[in-house]
A and B are shown apart, each in its own frame.
Chain A
């Protein structure tokens, strides 16, 4: 199976990046052969919609699943529509995450795991 793991660096020993939309790298891994390639997330500093863009990247890569720390509602909705399975709460290295995925210890997420926000340029909260 082809999966994407979000990571802070660009190889299998890199720690999993817990942020989905604002992760440093997307690592595409073949879960059987462990062949991989890394793609830099050029939207990590986006003002808003980084999650949507990351989900678009994952969808374009035509993978079966994505492993990350947490996903927001927009990214979740996009990944669901793209039929990509979502596994959250991963820790350790990319390789640890792939192993955990293979032995079934990661649980598939069926709702978004972080609240909505409007990125870095976002509005301030309404105080009334």
Chain B
């Protein structure tokens, strides 16, 4: 079973939910696909046993063959190529590795090289396997790193995917073909606004989903009312408590210290399992 944890914006407690859920499941695999800021492991403290580079293909032009005809640049939908009278300029950070330039080149002058866009790390600790994707600083190609993370999915386990915040392409890549999506929000006007955006994307992707309200007790009831009107299940309300906040700032998952909450998370998992299999 694959459960993706998403939220319309950052800082709502998405990673907190992912980590605590993983710790409450037996045999969990946690995939940190929030590749711009992979922080799940700040709470899990896994020692990674494996690390490899994630690379993408970018064109390399064979100067001996190129006639500077400009076909490749005309074709490239991402504007990653410019052809001037005696040079082809490749803007690697704009390239999406579609390989179309190779197809249209009449001189067979387009070759390929690897470009590193991020790192993939794996480790195992306390029965949880952790896979972390880490996009290189300043890098814009998040999708290939997210894809690499998702290639590690082990369906024998309860797979928990910490998606990037927001509603852009990387989010869709991360939550695509999950069995269930948990949208994490806060009971505030901003939280509601971003939740609506996330609900919209998740519905369009036709994925079953439910909501977890974090810091329940701050703000107002509008998130709950909205969920009621839209018939969206509120799966869990994590109370706004000093103990939770202080555990958080110590990098400690609260389920390790608050058995009642751990039970809530276990029930949440059971409920999702039932919904997925029904």
B205 within 8 A of A: no
Give the CA-CA distance A77 to B84 in the complex, in Å: 11
| Chain B residue, CB-CB nearest to A51 | B79
Partner-binding segment picked from A6-14, A26-34, A93-101, A120-128: A120-128
State the total of A-B contacts with C-beta under 8 angstroms.
Answer: 63
As a 0/1 sequence over residues 75 to 90 of chain A, the CB contacts with chain B under 8 angstroms (1 = contact) are: 0011001110000000
What is the size category of the interface that chain B forms with chain A?
20 to 34
Is B208 interfacial (CB-CB < 8 Å)? no
Whether A114 sits at the interface, judged by CB under 8 Å, is no
Q: Is the CB of A121 within 8 A of B168?
A: yes
Contact with B along A30-62 (1 / 0, CB 8 A): 000000000000010011111011011001100
Assess A49 versus B36: contact at CB under 8 Å? Given A77-B89, A81-B87: no
A60-B70, A81-B84, A126-B138 known; A52 vs B36 contact (CB < 8 Å): no
Answer whether A49 and B37 are a contact pair too, CB < 8 Å, given A60-B70, A77-B89, A121-B168.
Answer: no
**Cα of A128 to Cα of B138 in the assembled complex, Å:** 11
For A81, the chain B residues whose CB sits under 8 A away are 82, 84, 87, 89
A-B contact pairs, 27 of them (CB 8 A): A46-B79, A47-B78, A48-B78, A48-B140, A49-B78, A49-B79, A49-B94, A50-B79, A52-B79, A52-B80, A52-B81, A52-B82, A55-B82, A59-B82, A59-B83, A74-B91, A77-B89, A78-B84, A81-B87, A81-B89, A82-B84, A123-B140, A124-B36, A126-B37, A126-B135, A126-B137, A128-B37
Residues of A within 8 A of B (CB): 43, 46-50, 52-53, 55-56, 59-60, 74, 77-78, 81-83, 118, 121-124, 126-128
